[in-house]
């Protein structure tokens, strides 16, 4: 995995001025965490590309930016982030068409695929990717993002071209970009309903999943090359289960392709256990040794953990059970309250996200887990996105959430932080909340999303509604988690792959009737049936448990102490956004610090963001 960036300006010679090269170098340097192994730039008159590399396939040959020349003239240049899992098949097809390769890298396959098929290459790629191709013959730029949005890509149109980067920070490094967040930007930040294409920063857009952006002298155009479609599902339940299993086996096999140490992320839940077990089988059959697995845990979790409606069981025992079952080389990264509350870790999370997240230890623990993983592996397989695909979350099965006239997960957010947690907006000023009207913003975005849902004729009301719930999760919720996983992993130079985001599996399961997805009366029926034979019954039958949070009572106490320090600093910029009375109540000795855990996290993140990123709020 890598970090990419670049600058197109049709009205200036970017290769001539040393000051422009210095700007490109600064933009590229912001991506060093994504690509710690090497860096490079490519200069053309009207386009300059930057690249930071995390070497995974063809360590020696896959240097970037990569170019193709003819008669001493550059035809096209590519800066690429991601993995294309069908690169071997595409290479064979391209070689048959006359293309010649000098490396084993999938990067070169993507470049030649563009020369052969133009922007139609996007439809042929199976993988997670975000890349930019400068066509020197036509003087135009192509930005391409994978179907599910696993890999990020942003762009900022300028009067004579565009700036782009894997992360917003690459664009912000350009001196012409103003760091402005207006009311709509703040709404997008706080609504917990990600709108494809938008960012909180004014003028900075994301390339939407499954889309191509083309930049010419005449302007910027956008084309969708993939979307979820409504298709009749003709397979029986037995054949559907067999198809899911066959797809998963093929996907995991493809995603084990790496020239560097590889592992799995193992929580002990159904999703990560399925990926780990299938990976163990594939590696074992190839004589490649045991799969390496990693889990996160918290010091004293056993003593402090109390089961509730959201988290009925701890992850640790189940992760160890699965590791023993498949013979994995298992490692546990254990964290304590001091590490979770360390402000340097909070600052790292902020720099990774470029935005305040307000989810506290859930981000920090993931960051530190990936730090521990990176000490032994460069690539990790994850179970992310199975819940959105197979219907694993509570809101897929809660009649109130299903019937709600809004994004169903918004009813459940506080519960994820633990029993008694109050909403994270609790400390915001009433006047600001009235201007934001977050409920109204969510309703408007919800209506937009519903209008996109593809339906089959003659579907009964329940099937129609569950298709809507699935679509919302696969286009508006999963992107929040994929973004989080990408930022926390790439902050450590770790590549995380997500088998459940393979577009073949997503399209197939999306069109599987809800009655099949819940045929045994539980969540994720299809997935459980497809992988039960490779799992212990205790794990196959385990009830869904969200990503863990620390149960250490010291953590919310330390967090509130940080909030008190913020309140005591008159220069804290977040104070202008907070209600002083509510802040005082949150800091009162008789207030349970756990109840303000999310709100304190958001306040601390906002303060650090406004300070470090020098953001101008135009509210």
Residues with a known catalytic role: 2
- Tell me if 107 sits within 8 A of 128, measured CB to CB: no
Query: What is the residue-wise DSSP string for 85-150?
Result: TTHHHHHHHHHHTT---SS--HHHHHHHHHHHHGGGHHHH--EEEEEEEEETTTTEEEEEE-TT--
| Three-class secondary structure of residue 327 per DSSP | coil
Angle at alpha carbon of residue 334, lines to 331 and 340, rounded to 5°: 140
Strand order in the sheet with 140-145: 66-70, 73-84, 127-135, 140-145, 211-216, 219-224
Query: How far lies 222's CA from each of 202, 415, 451, in Å?
Result: 19, 39, 20
- Tell me if 524 sits within 8 A of 245, measured CB to CB: no
**Of 85, 78, 166, 79, nearest to 127 (Cα)?**
85
Distance CA 514, CA 529 (A): 15
What are residue 362's phi and psi, to 5 degrees?
Answer: -65, -35
Between helices 554-568 and 597-612, what is the axis angle to 10°? 40
Both tokens assigned to 518: 């819940």
- Tracing tokens 């250490």 back to the chain, one arrives at 552
Query: How far lies 178's CA from each of 80, 164, 220, in Å?
Result: 26, 15, 20
């Amino acid at each position: 995995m890598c970090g990419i960036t670049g600058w197109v300006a049709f009205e200036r010679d970017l290769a001539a001025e040393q000051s422009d090269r210095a700007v490109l170098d600064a933009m590229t340097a912001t991506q060093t965490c994504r690509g710690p192994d090497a860096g490079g730039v490519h200069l053309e008159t009207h386009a300059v590309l930057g690249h930071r590399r995390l070497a995974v396939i063809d360590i020696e040959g896959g240097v970037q930016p990569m170019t193709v020349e003819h008669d001493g003239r550059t035809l096209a240049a590519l800066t690429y982030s991601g993995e294309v899992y069908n690169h071997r098949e595409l290479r064979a097809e391209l070689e048959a068409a006359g293309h010649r390769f000098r490396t084993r890298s999938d990067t070169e396959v993507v470049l030649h695929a563009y020369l052969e098929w133009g922007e139609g290459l996007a439809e042929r790629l199976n993988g997670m990717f975000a890349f930019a191709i400068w066509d020197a013959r036509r003087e135009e730029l192509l930005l391409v993002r994978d179907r599910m949005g696993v890999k990020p890509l942003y762009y900022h149109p300028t009067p004579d071209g565009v700036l782009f980067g894997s992360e917003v920070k690459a664009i912000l490094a350009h001196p012409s970009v103003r760091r402005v967040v207006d009311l709509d930007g703040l709404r997008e930040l706080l609504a917990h309903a990600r709108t494809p294409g938008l960012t909180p920063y004014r003028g900075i857009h994301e390339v939407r999943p499954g889309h191509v952006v083309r930049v010419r002298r005449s302007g910027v155009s956008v084309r969708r090359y993939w979307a979820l479609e409504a298709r009749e599902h003709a397979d029986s339940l037995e054949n559907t289960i067999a198809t899911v299993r066959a797809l998963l086996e093929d996907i995991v096999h493809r995603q084990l392709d790496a020239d560097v140490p590889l592992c799995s992320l193992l929580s002990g839940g159904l999703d990560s256990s399925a990926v780990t077990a299938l990976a163990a089988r594939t590696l074992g059959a190839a004589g490649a040794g045991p799969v390496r697995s990693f889990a996160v845990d918290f010091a004293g979790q056993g003593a402090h953990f109390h089961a509730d409606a959201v988290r009925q069981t701890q992850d640790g025992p189940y992760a160890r059970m699965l590791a023993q079952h498949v013979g994995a080389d298992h490692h546990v990264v254990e964290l304590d309250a001091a590490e979770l509350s360390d402000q340097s870790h909070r600052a790292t999370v902020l720099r990774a996200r470029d935005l305040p997240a307000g989810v506290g230890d859930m981000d920090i623990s993931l960051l530190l887990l990936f730090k521990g993983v990176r000490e032994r592996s460069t690539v990790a397989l994850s179970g992310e996105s199975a819940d959105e695909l197979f219907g694993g979350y509570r809101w897929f099965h809660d009649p109130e959430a299903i019937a709600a006239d809004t994004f169903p997960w918004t009813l459940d957010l506080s519960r994820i932080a633990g029993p008694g947690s109050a909403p994270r907006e609790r400390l915001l000023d009433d006047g600001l909340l009235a201007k934001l009207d977050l409920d109204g913003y969510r309703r408007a975005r919800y209506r937009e999303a519903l209008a996109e849902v593809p339906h089959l004729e003659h579907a009964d009301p329940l099937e129609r509604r569950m298709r809507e719930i699935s679509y919302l999760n696969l286009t508006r919720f999963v992107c929040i988690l994929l973004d989080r996983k990408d930022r926390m992993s790439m902050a450590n130079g770790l590549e995380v792959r997500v088998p459940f985001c393979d577009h073949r599996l997503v399209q197939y399961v999306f069109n599987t009737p809800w009655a099949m997805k819940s045929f045994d009366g539980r969540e994720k029926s299809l997935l459980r049936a497809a992988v039960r034979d490779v799992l212990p019954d205790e794990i196959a039958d385990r009830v869904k448990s969200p990503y863990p949070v620390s149960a250490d009572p010291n953590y919310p106490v330390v967090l509130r102490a940080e909030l008190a320090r913020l309140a005591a600093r008159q220069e804290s910029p977040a104070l202008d956004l907070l209600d002083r009375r509510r802040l005082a109540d949150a800091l009162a000795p008789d207030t349970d610090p756990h109840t303000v855990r999310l709100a304190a996290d958001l306040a601390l993140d906002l303060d650090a963001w406004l300070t470090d990123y020098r953001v101008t709020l135009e509210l």
